[in-house]
């Protein structure tokens, strides 16, 4: 039980990861329930897909080193908020904020931080709404509070982000960073414009129902 990752005791680390896993399950279940409820009440599913992920230890340690964070669970917990991650892919742009509001309306979920890369896209064209929320998790020894990063984005934003990620990975492998960056930035804008037009049609159809 004294096996260590750097200076972190492995068994403590496992417990921490288990807390993050439970927090992801908690948030994901709540989102799934909200989606079903939206369907029953308004005949509209805002959520297309939910992806869950726990940051792997390699990428966590990379981030810890990059940010110069001491290898201490308390410090890691305080400074890194995306170990537990839930990505919500929604159908239309307005659904991003519909899902955000419905989640934050739950009295035991607290908003810790918002980064709205939809209202303020990154220079490369990346769009997505990032929330860090705290959520209660019930363990055998009582209630714990855990942080979860919730990324909410449309299908177009998600398609763009996955291509961007793949290109980034390829570029690192072939040392060709940024070759397609201008095209990608242009496509991000075009996708956004198409999704805004689709939103307009969807809203109009709803008004004439
Ligand atoms: P992975 O593999 O998804 O975990 P912070 O330290 O949290 O204050 P950080 O980490 O830059 O600052 O947080 P931010 O801006 O909220 O974004 C972190 C995550 O958003 C990334 O996680 C990506 O998932 C996603 N993301 C942000 N910018 C981009 C981008 O330009 N392109 C793509 N494809 N995704 C982006 P990780 O940790 O990088 O990776």
**Shared-domain flag, residues 125 and 192:** no
> Is residue 15 situated within a structural domain?
no
* CB 124 near ligand 1, within 6 Å: yes
Instruction: Express each pLDDT in 153-197 by its tens digit.
Output: 999 999 999 999 988 877 776 766 677 888 999 999 999 999 999
Cα separation, 177 vs 131, in Å, equals: 29
Cα(164) to centroid(ligand 1), Å? 12
Report the complex ipTM.
0.91
* CB 82 near ligand 1, within 6 Å: yes
Q: Whose CA is nearest to atom 21 of ligand 1?
A: 82
> Is residue 86 situated within a structural domain?
yes
Instruction: Express each pLDDT in 87-144 by its tens digit.
Output: 999 999 999 999 999 999 999 999 999 999 999 999 999 999 999 999 999 999 999 9
What confidence category does residue 5 fall into, taking pLDDT thresholds of 50, 70 and 90?
A: low
**Shared-domain flag, residues 63 and 126:** yes
Cα(15) to centroid(ligand 1), Å? 25
Residue 29: the pLDDT is 98
**Shared-domain flag, residues 74 and 146:** yes
**CA angle at residue 67 from 61 to 73, to 5 degrees?**
55
Cβ pair 99, 88 in contact under 8 A = yes
Task: Single out the residue in 154, 175, 196 at which a domain terminates.
Answer: 154
Beta bridge partners of 129: 116, 152
**Shared-domain flag, residues 115 and 164:** no
**Shared-domain flag, residues 183 and 120:** no
Cα separation, 157 vs 34, in Å, equals: 22
**Shared-domain flag, residues 199 and 117:** no
Closest CA to 112 of 92, 89, 130, 86: 130
pLDDT above 60: residue 1: no
pTM for this prediction: 0.92
Residue 8: the pLDDT is 66
**Shared-domain flag, residues 71 and 98:** yes
Q: Return the minimum-mean-pLDDT range out of 2-11, 175-184, 197-206.
A: 2-11
* CB 22 near ligand 1, within 6 Å: no
**Shared-domain flag, residues 145 and 56:** yes
* CB 81 near ligand 1, within 6 Å: yes
Instruction: Express each pLDDT in 50-101 by its tens digit.
Output: 999 999 988 998 999 999 998 888 888 889 999 999 999 999 999 999 999 9
Token couple for 56: 């792997």
Residue 19: the pLDDT is 95
CATH of the domain at 102: 3.30.460.10
**Shared-domain flag, residues 47 and 127:** yes
Number of domains in the chain: 2
Range of the domain at 130: 20-154
Q: Whose CA is nearest to atom 15 of ligand 1?
A: 115
Q: Whose CA is nearest to atom 31 of ligand 1?
A: 126
Closest CA to 98 of 53, 57, 140, 41: 41
> Is residue 4 situated within a structural domain?
no
**Shared-domain flag, residues 64 and 139:** yes
**Shared-domain flag, residues 79 and 181:** no
Task: Single out the residue in 126, 154, 182 at which a domain terminates.
Answer: 154
Q: Best of 82, 89, 153 to mutate for ligand 1, by most ligand atoms within 8 A of CB?
A: 82
* CB 167 near ligand 1, within 6 Å: no
> Is residue 114 situated within a structural domain?
yes
**Shared-domain flag, residues 135 and 180:** no
Residue 7: the pLDDT is 62
Cα separation, 53 vs 37, in Å, equals: 24
Characterize the bridge pairing of strands 84-90 and 142-154. Answer: parallel
In the block, residue with structure tokens 């449309």: 154
């Amino acid at each position: 039980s004294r096996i260590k990752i750097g200076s972190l005791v492995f068994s403590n680390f496992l417990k921490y990861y288990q807390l993050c896993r439970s927090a992801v399950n908690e948030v994901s279940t709540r989102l799934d329930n909200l989606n079903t409820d939206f369907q029953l009440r308004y005949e509209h599913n805002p959520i297309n897909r939910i992806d869950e992920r726990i940051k792997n230890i390699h990428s966590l340690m990379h981030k810890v080193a990059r940010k110069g964070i001491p290898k201490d669970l308390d410090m890691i917990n305080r400074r890194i908020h995306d170990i537990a991650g839930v990505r919500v892919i929604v159908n239309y742009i307005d659904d991003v904020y519909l899902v955000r509001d419905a989640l934050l309306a739950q009295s035991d979920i607290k908003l810790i931080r918002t980064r709205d890369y939809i209202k303020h896209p990154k220079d490369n064209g990346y769009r997505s709404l990032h929330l860090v929320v705290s959520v209660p998790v019930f363990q055998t020894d009582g209630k714990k509070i855990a942080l979860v990063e919730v990324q909410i984005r449309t299908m177009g934003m998600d398609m763009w982000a996955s291509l961007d990620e793949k290109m980034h990975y390829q570029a690192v492998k072939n040392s060709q960073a940024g070759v397609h960056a201008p095209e990608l930035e242009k496509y991000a804008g075009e996708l956004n414009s198409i999704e805004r037009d689709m939103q307009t049609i969807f809203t109009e159809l709803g008004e004439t129902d």
